[in-house]
Structure 1
Amino acid sequence: MIDYSQIPSPCYVLESEKLIENLELIDSVQKKAGITIILALKGFAMFSAFPIVKQYLQGTTASSLFEARLGREEFGKELHLYLLAYQEKEFPELIQGATHISFNSLSQWERFKEKTLLTQVSPGLRINPEYSPVEPEIYNPSSPLSRLGIRAEKLGDKLPEGIEGLHCHNLCESDSQALARTLEQIETLFGHHLPQIKWLNLGGGHLITSKSYDIEHLIQVLTRFKSRYPHLHIYLEPGSAVAWETGVLRATVLDLIETSN
């Protein structure tokens, strides 16, 4: 039992036992499905917990310069990068120590292609699967007017030379059925590209540690997909699922002001 009277306010309180339970579940998924799961820092960045987290997860994914530094300096292992747009002044530091990088557009890839290919980083493109369960439409990353990822007709029959992976992010606290539908869309729209690449990153939004999540169906979906594309290294990058229901925010009420209805 936690004695909250001994904890300062305000304060985030993380229960390590609950965190480990989540991580053990996530680890069982990656082992049974034969995939790799990394931590999305935008969803959970409590670096004091990284000594525990990195016992189970294989790296981090960053969406900013400082997240990249956090992943590199405090977590180690694989470091994946995805930003909507990269800046010339940040790029040299950003890519330092990275293992994978995804570009949001063909123009961004062309702009940073030469600098990327001078490193050991594996480059990829973010794709738009033209499906997402996210509502309302204004938050849908796969809507017809979305600028997040490249639509199939823009890629043509062959990927740009040097591209080794594809990245898709269209879920948010979603279930395994949404992932299954996403993979169907990827095969329909981008299936001819899959033999050309080494890795496929299915992004975040997988609420694996929710009590209602169908873990067995998730493993089944991933295993079947892997059987069709055994050469692909598949990544998931959940964030909130890692720390889902593992703690509380301790706060103090400082004032009460009554209002009339």
Structure 2
Amino acid sequence: MKAQTDKVNLSLLMAMKGFPLVKAFPYISPFICGTSASGLFEAKLGSHLGKENHIHTPAYKAEDAQEILSVCDHIVLNSPGQAEIFSQLATSKNEFGLRLNPEISAVKEDVYNPCAPFSRFGVKKTDMDEIDSKIMNKISGFHVHALCGSSGKDFNSLLSATIEKFSPYFHDISWINLGGGQALTEDDFDFSFFQKNLDILQNKYHLKTYIEPCEYLVMDAGFLITTVLDIVHNKKDIAILDTSISCHALDVLKNYYKLPVVFPQTCESHHLSKYSYILAGNSCLSGDLFGTYEFEEPLKPGDKIVFGDMGSYSFAQQNYFNGINFPSIAFYNKTDGLRQIKNYTYKNYEEIYD
């Protein structure tokens, strides 16, 4: 992906919301120019990278302003009203952006669509001229986010709408953040779709152009290693695992997709094996199910099941429902082998609820 994004001259910011793990920064740092936070805590964590530190959120707390200014160099305001919080505290190192609502998106589900009707995100074109000039004079960049798992063609549509609606204001800014949600590593993502519009932003208006991926930076780097605790039968064989989809893969539960099993060997669904199992979590939630999988060999208690595609969001959204412990975190490479970097105990759970 680096070679492709270099070719189209995009500056990458890693979105902290999907992968807040400081110990991984040394591995990610060579490929990104900074981080993008959705709130103060993420921004403070992102500051450990030592590069650009951007923040955007629907609304800031006044009591957080001083600390945000101390750790963030780029602060995106969701509305002109938020400028008042920072107006008396900003320093020369702080740059302010304004979030825009281009009123276009390829995202079908409103729950994930920042441009859905009645959206609270950003300023629409019809409202731009009503913003006080004193506020606009402090704005050095724009932020647009309207995609989710979207193609190069969808990204180009977003660029076209943004240029059409907001280009009269581009002469007064120096950067634009085009948000995340571009399916950069998918085989059918075509970078050529948006080259012309990207050239307009960079060569006509001379805008430094950011995007803020997360999922497509780390999605294939994360694995969840689980153990079969028991096999029960209720018309189908059910393998109960020492994990929980509601605790450790909440995004899978919310989005109704199926995680890949990378170990042991599975069968294609159209070649059904006699070794078919529902893989189930160990919580009290009836829907704590990873789905039905077919295996080459029968499962038994003690067997390991390894899920892939766990590098982003699942890791960030894990929780202590039912008091089920967090998985330990380990790094692996061929040189150093497996290194455990974090282990969770009852003490971590107690500190939250005691």
Q: Same fold (TM over 0.5)?
A: yes
Choose the corresponding residue for 2:51, options 74, 77, 84.
Answer: 77
Higher relative contact order (CA 8 A, sep 6+): 1
Instruction: Identify unmatched segments of 5+ residues in structure 1.
Output: 1-24
Q: 1:192 and 1:138, CA in 2 relative to 1: closer, same or farther beyond 3 A? A: same
SS in 2 for 1:52: helix
Q: Are the equivalent residues in 1 in contact too, given 2:175–2:207 (CA < 8 A)?
A: yes
Q: Match for 1:136 among 105, 109, 126? A: 109
- 1:243 deviation in Å? 0.9
Give the CA RMSD over aligned residues. 2.0
Q: How does 1:107-256 map to 2 (within 5 A)?
A: 107-116=81-90, 118-156=91-129, 160-219=136-195, 221-229=197-205, 231-256=206-231
Structure with greater strand share of residues:
2
- TM-score, L = length of structure 2: 0.61
Equivalent residue for 1:36?
11
Asked whether the 8 Å contact 1:129–1:185 carries over to 2, the reply is yes
Shift of residue 28, structure 1, vs aligned partner: 1.9
Secondary structure at 1:38's aligned position in 2?
A: strand
Given the two structures, how large is their TM-score scaled by the length of structure 1?
Answer: 0.82
Q: Which has the larger radius of gyration?
A: 2
Q: 1:98/1:201 Cα in 2 relative to 1: closer, same or farther (>3 Å)?
A: same
> Does the 8 A contact of 1:152 with 1:190 survive in 2?
yes
Shift, 1:219, TM fit: 4.5
2:75 to 101, 110, 134: 101
Residues 202-235 of structure 1 deviation map (CA, whole Å, 9 limit, x = unaligned): 0111121122212343545423542332x21111
Give the conservation status (yes or no) of the 8 Å contact 2:201–2:207: no
- Conserved? CA contact 2:112–2:148, under 8 Å: no
Amino acid at match of 1:222: L
CA distance in 2, matches of 1:130, 1:209: 26
Contact 1:104/1:150, CA 8 A, preserved across alignment: yes
Question: Partners in 2 of 1:224 and 1:94 — Cα distance?
Answer: 32
Give the total of aligned pairs.
Answer: 233
Instruction: Give distance in 2, aligned partners of 1:100 and 1:152.
Output: 22
Q: Which residue of 2 aligns with 1:22?
A: none
Q: 2:23 & 2:5 partners in 1: Cα distance? A: 24
Q: Is the Cα–Cα contact under 8 Å of residues 226 and 232 in structure 1 kept in the other structure?
A: yes
Cα separation, 2, equivalents of 1:62 and 1:260: 47
Deviates more, 1:218-227 or 1:234-243: 218-227
Q: Which runs of 5+ in 2 are unaligned?
A: 237-354
Once the two structures are aligned, what percentage of the paired residues are identical? 33
Which deviates more from structure 2 when the two are superposed, residues 240-249 or residues 98-107? Answer: 240-249
Separation in structure 2 between the aligned mates of residue 188 and residue 224 of structure 1, nearest angstrom: 11
